[in-house]
Amino acid sequence: MASNTKNVQFDAAAQVEKIAEQFQMFQILNEEGQVVNETAMPDLTDDQLQELMRRMVYTRILDQRSISLNRQGRLGFYAPTAGQEASQLASQFALEKEDFVLPGYRDVPQIVWHGLPLYQAFLWSRGHFEGGQIPEGVNVYVPQIIIGAQYVQAAGVALGLKKRGQKAVAITYTGDGGTSQGDFYEGINFAGAYKAPAIFIVQNNQFAISTPREKQTAAETLAQKAVAAGIPGILVDGMDPLAVYAAVSQARERAVNGEGPTLIETLTYRYGPHTMAGDDPTRYRTSDLDNEWEKKDPLVRFRKFLEAKGLWSEEKENEVIEQAKEDIKEAIKKADAAPKQKVTDLMSNMFEEMPHNLKEQYEIYQAKESK
Amino acid sequence: MAQMTMIQAITDALRTELRNDPNVLIFGEDVGVNGGVFRATEGLQNEFGEDRVFDTPLAESGIGGLAFGLSLQGFRPVPEIQFFGFVFEVFDQIAGQLARLRYRTGGKFHAPVTVRAPFGGGVHTPDMHADSLEGLMAQTPGLKVVIPSTPYDAKGLLISAIRDNDPVVFLEHMKLYRSFRQEVPEEEYTIPLGKAEVKREGTDVSIITYGAMVHESLKAAGELEKEGYSAEVIDLRTVSPIDIDTIIASVEKTGRAIVVQEAQKMAGVAAHVVAEINDRAILSLEAPVLRVAAPDTVFPFPQAEAVWLPNFKDVIETAKKVLTF
């Protein structure tokens, strides 16, 4: 028997190559704003196209102002978003109000556009419990700090929606580094095993703080990690709003039709630092790389696309910018007006009914606070 | 009334709550058609369907995440962790996520989750099955930790745990699953969480304990009585939060106390009980409050359980030290 098999070789190289071939990058708009994949064009009205651009511009301004407010000490924890507008906002744009969003710490824009008031996003940044008091009917959770936790939770939310018979999905986001976590894999695998309506997005901005994507995994793409869960995976140009929108729409359609979850890798880039807590990207990124990705800016290509269709102008853009600045000013004012947190508030939010140790401590702090 | 083992009382509580509340969901590894590795969920999938009682992939963190997500959709999840030694895999979802859900969202969301898990030594299980890790949970704000020692308590406490709108860790001692039967009412009843019970009244020394050590302490109290000492045995039943009032009332009466746990001395909740007594009843104490606990090593290899686990003899010895101080 051995003599019959000794020349049979497992073609490892071909296997790796064939897997990678199945995850070609999906793109609709190139860097010049030209449609390179007409057949995949999503069905969006002129108004919707303009609204998507409006949100992307607005969010770029939100990022600029947030960085500046953070530097002035008027915001706390902040993870910059510039560069990821297509990845973040075009994906959220493909959702319905009934869909539930489980964001990572960089995914504040998605939950703001899903209905979280801006001043609450600012309170979350500062570290105030009112920031997490999600308004009734807004289907989002607060940004998740533990990388990967949102993935297993999304599987649970999706299973919940399925059990309730709702035509809605759970959508969650992580980064390239996050795909190395156990919870990342468990989340997509659970959702797959239960055929739950979940959309898992990996925003591959190519760096997890200072660690390049190559150091996370030998896998050619992150989208192919879907194979381990037996679910479809799509690699999409994360700087292309139309491609992101189309990929998420399709995943949503599959999910609400009971066909299960999808993993979507959006290839993108963050122009700023990892967070505003002292990260310096010049230590680990070259200016050449920054320049290369600035050419791919989602705003630039979408602006060109819309201008060619006569749907966008400098005037329109300036209106959005002014509106954003005004809203941000208002929101910061409203955040400033939030009452200072007291220890008794924190205690009240622990349980429905306080256990006796907290009751006892509550009285002590109540006495301190009334002095 | 029916004679039930603790495991039967647990199944009965689960059945009661599955009937009472359509939001109750039971899930975990092999809890469905198999009825659980200890038969705790036997017959439940058959009676309530796969939609209510279902198996999961083999991944504890995923199970915790599932419970969290189902909570956000208004369900009342009762997940099982097959053995509590496997809690390390799901520590973030329990301590980092479920326990903090209400606080993080300023009360907008909450997690009415009861995590059931067996633990406890004396049955020669392999590594990481029997460890007493309740101390880790008891140090986590946002959780309640319940450990019954009798069939009657198990049923009433589990029904309360499931109905609680905040996360409860419900730890079931493997040695107590089938070690004895007790009269348990067939109808539903609850026992408040955070309430201890005096399992034996006494006047000379308070023995404060929980889990399998309740029975060791009762046995010790019987022996001590023969020597003329009257020991009061308090079963904490809930180890977080502990029932300060019952403990202090007993210590004020007896003037002497020991705390008995199966966990290592550096673990468990005994140190916390001692500190509370020192804070609140030092003027009643005739002697220091001593602890009976396991040595500060890793949980023993199965063959070493008998020499390592605390038992009634250790309780007698420590009680006498306090009685003759």
Q: Find the mean pLDDT for residues B227-239.
A: 98
Q: Find the mean pLDDT for residues A261-265.
A: 98
Q: Could you tell me the residue ranges of all domains in chain A?
A: 17-338, 341-371
Q: Which residues, in sequence order, are CB contacts of A17 under 8 Å at separation 6+?
A: none
Enumerate the residues of chain A whose CB falls inside 8 A of the CB of residue B106: 129-130, 132-133, 349
Given a cut of 80, is residue A7 above it in pLDDT? no
Given a cut of 70, is residue A5 above it in pLDDT? no
Assigned fold of B2-184: Rossmann fold (3.40.50)
Residue ranges of A 156-215 with Cβ closer than 8 A to chain B: 156-161, 163-164, 170, 182-183, 186-187, 189-190, 193
Task: Please tell me the predicted confidence (pLDDT) of residue A4.
Answer: 61
Per-residue pLDDT tens digits for A75-128: 999 999 999 999 999 999 999 999 999 999 999 999 999 999 999 999 999 999
Where do you find CATH 3.40.50.920 in chain B? 197-324
Task: Please tell me the predicted confidence (pLDDT) of residue B21.
Answer: 98
Task: Extract the tokens encoding B88.
Answer: 């390390």
| Yes or no, beta carbons of A163 and B51 under 8 Å apart | yes
| Yes or no, beta carbons of B65 and A133 under 8 Å apart | no
Task: Please tell me the predicted confidence (pLDDT) of residue A2.
Answer: 54
Per-residue pLDDT tens digits for B63-91: 999 999 999 999 999 999 999 999 999 99
The CATH class of A17-338 is alpha beta
Task: Please tell me the predicted confidence (pLDDT) of residue A6.
Answer: 63
Closest to A277 in 3D by CA, of A125, A149, A131: A125
Confidence at A173, pLDDT banded by 50, 70, 90:
very high
Q: Confirm if B181 and B3 have CB atoms less than 8 A apart.
A: yes
Task: Please tell me the predicted confidence (pLDDT) of residue A8.
Answer: 73
Given a cut of 60, is residue A351 above it in pLDDT? yes
| Yes or no, beta carbons of A349 and B102 under 8 Å apart | yes
Distance CA A281, CA A220 (A): 24
Where do you find CATH 3.40.50.970 in chain B? 2-184
Q: Find the mean pLDDT for residues A237-254.
A: 98
How distant is the Cα of B68 from the closest Cα of chain A, in angstroms? 6
Question: What are the start-end ranges of the E strands in B140-287?
Answer: 144-146, 168-173, 182-184, 197-200, 205-209, 231-235, 238-240, 257-264
Q: Which ranges in B21-59 belong to alpha helices (H)? A: 44-48
Q: Find the mean pLDDT for residues B258-274.
A: 98
What's the distance, Cα to Cα, between the start and end of chain B in Å? Answer: 45
Q: Confirm if B84 and B60 have CB atoms less than 8 A apart.
A: no
Percent of chain B with pLDDT over 90: 100
Average pLDDT, chain A: 96
Enumerate the residues of chain B whose CB falls inside 8 A of the CB of residue A127: none
**Between β-strands B205-209 and B257-264, what pairing exists: parallel, antiparallel or unpaired?**
parallel
Enumerate the residues of chain A whose CB falls inside 8 A of the CB of residue B103: 129, 346, 349-350
Q: Does domain B197-324 have CATH number 3.40.50.1370?
A: no
Average pLDDT, chain B: 98
Per-residue pLDDT tens digits for A182-224: 999 999 999 999 999 999 999 999 999 999 999 999 999 999 9
**Between β-strands A207-208 and A211-212, what pairing exists: parallel, antiparallel or unpaired?**
antiparallel
Per-residue pLDDT tens digits for B92-125: 999 999 999 999 999 999 999 999 999 999 999 9
**ipTM of the complex as predicted:** 0.97
Task: Please tell me the predicted confidence (pLDDT) of residue A61.
Answer: 98
Task: Please tell me the predicted confidence (pLDDT) of residue B1.
Answer: 82
Q: How many CB atoms lie within 10 A of CB A10?
A: 7
Q: Find the mean pLDDT for residues B200-214.
A: 98
Given a cut of 60, is residue B61 above it in pLDDT? yes
- Determine the angle formed by the axes of helices B244-254 and B270-281, rounding to 10 degrees: 60
| Yes or no, beta carbons of A182 and B61 under 8 Å apart | yes
Q: Give the best residue of B72, B164, B169, B279 to mutate against chain A (max A CB count within 10 A).
A: B72
Residue B129 known to be catalytic: yes
Confidence at B46, pLDDT banded by 50, 70, 90:
very high
Given a cut of 90, is residue A40 above it in pLDDT? yes
Residue A284 known to be catalytic: yes
Enumerate the residues of chain A whose CB falls inside 8 A of the CB of residue B141: 350
